Amino acid sequence: MLRVGVIGCGGMGKDHIKRLTNKIQGAEVTAVSDVFEESAKQAAAICGAKVYTDANELINDPDVDAVFIVSPGFAHVESLLTAIKAGKRIFCEKPLCTTAEDCLKVVEAEVASGKHLIQLGFMRRYDKGYMQVKEALTSGEYGEPLILHCTHRNPEVGTNYTTPMAVHDTAIHEIDVLHWLVDDEYESAQVIMPKVTKYSHSELKDPQIMLLRTKKGVCIDVEVFVNCKFGYDINCEVVCEDGAIKMPSPIYPSIRKNAAVSTTIDTDCFVRFKDAYDTEVQDWVDAAAEGAINGPTAWDGYLAAITADALVKAQETGAVEKINAAVEKPEFYK
Ligand SMILES: NC(=O)c1ccc[n+]([C@@H]2O[C@H](COP(=O)([O-])OP(=O)(O)OC[C@H]3O[C@@H](n4cnc5c(N)ncnc54)[C@H](O)[C@@H]3O)[C@@H](O)[C@H]2O)c1
Ligand SMILES: O[C@H]1[C@H](O)[C@@H](O)[C@H](O)[C@@H](O)[C@H]1O
């Protein structure tokens, strides 16, 4: 049994604690921590775990074999470095860290430890729909990918959500999954700002159109619209030389009523990606039995961070911004 300590007991933290406690085979939550003791206590009630307010104490608890980081992005770096030092296995929710500089520190610490310790929570790589698109692309039947059209729509966000978060918090998922889909790396980024929706506020330009170009010349457009009001709507279509592949939407019945046909759209990521979260976490636990780490790595987190930085710069300049890694991909991640 893998004894897991969970850091961060907010919305996503509690969702993962329930998953680890009720669904995942081979793991138990033995400790939880939150800077707010009351949040940690509420989470501990779900799983009967020890309560900490200091994440570093949880990491060094001898009853914790592995650490699950679900605190806000800005707090990830400290827990990651402490857990690497303690030699603990780590699952870290996206983003790895909020700056490329911190991501690089984590990459360097993991490489120096000589052990693969970190799986990053880019769950879309475990989503059935994206996996089907990837399978179609790698079959070679449709030729080379040329263009990707994507949408990332949330029904609404809180008033503390600001313009750069459309990149760091939201488009970060597309940044990771799309280059993985087409097996390529990003070269440049640009952002186009349409008219702002009446449902936004002065600190948030919403919607945005993000454009990415890969080294092989694939052009990607992602509409990020976080106050779209109508649902949690994720779409992706890959236009290839010999066909176009559209990711399937979750299947709901089509209802005929009052002279209209309607189908449900999910309203949040917890439902839309429920199966993907379950699969990624089970994979992390299963890999532990073999002393391995699967899935997205700290290096993927670093690549996402430099791409995010270019997009945030492009939000301000409106220009095409280059994306360059400060270092070569270490042998360790190849
Ligand atoms: N993969 C996904 O689709 C997905 C979905 C939602 C959230 N997330 C990620 O999960 C993480 C948490 O998001 P959330 O929505 O639960 O946020 P949240 O604000 O609801 O919860 C964060 C919790 O962490 C606590 N906290 C803050 N600093 C801490 C620290 N240093 N140590 C321990 N706890 C600390 C806060 O008190 C809060 O209870 C973020 O990295 C976010 O990007 C991922
Ligand atoms: O933290 C959440 C989460 O990552 C969701 O998957 C994404 O759709 C939201 O935009 C973001 O705010």
Ranges of H-type helices in the chain = 11-22, 37-47, 55-59, 76-85, 100-113, 128-139, 165, 172-182, 269-272, 274-289, 298-317
Question: How far, in Å, are 76, 119, 149, 229, 263 from residue 251 at the CA level?
Answer: 35, 29, 21, 21, 9
Residue bearing the CA closest to ligand 1, atom 19: 10
Q: Which long-range contacts (CB under 8 A, 24 or more apart) does 242-249 make?
A: 242/141, 242/142, 242/143, 243/141, 243/142, 243/143, 244/142, 245/133, 245/136, 245/137, 245/142, 247/129, 247/130, 247/132, 247/133, 248/128, 248/129, 248/132, 249/129
Contact by Cβ (8 Å): 298, 108 = no
Please report, for the chain, the start and end positions of each structural domain, with discontinuous segments joined by +.
2-122+275-296, 125-267+302-333
Give the span between the Cα atoms of 251 and 263, in whole angstroms: 9
Q: List pocket residues of ligand 1, CB cut-off 6 Å.
A: 7-13, 33-36, 39, 55, 70-73, 75, 93-94, 121, 123, 169, 269, 273
CATH of region 125-267+302-333 = 3.30.360.10
Q: Could you list the pLDDT tens digit for every one of the 334 residues in the chain?
A: 999 999 999 999 999 999 999 999 999 999 999 999 999 999 999 999 999 999 999 999 999 999 999 999 999 999 999 999 999 999 999 999 999 999 999 999 999 999 999 999 999 999 999 999 999 999 999 999 999 999 999 999 999 999 999 999 999 999 999 999 999 999 999 999 999 999 999 999 999 999 999 999 999 999 999 999 999 999 999 999 999 999 999 989 999 999 999 999 999 999 999 999 999 999 999 999 888 999 999 999 999 999 999 999 999 999 999 999 999 999 999 9
Shortest CA distance to 93 belongs to which of 72, 79, 111, 78?
A: 72
ipTM value greater than 0.95: yes
Q: Which CATH number fits domain 2-122+275-296: 1.10.10.10, 3.40.50.300, 1.10.3720.10, 3.40.50.720?
A: 3.40.50.720
Kindly report the backbone phi and psi dihedral angles of residue 252, in degrees, each rounded to the nearest multiple of 5, phi listed first: -125, 155
Closest approach atom of ligand 2 to CA 234: 8
Task: Check for a shared fold between 2-122+275-296 and 125-267+302-333.
Answer: no
Max CA-CA distance within the chain? 64
Asked if 69 and 90 touch (Cβ cutoff 8 Å), the reply is: yes
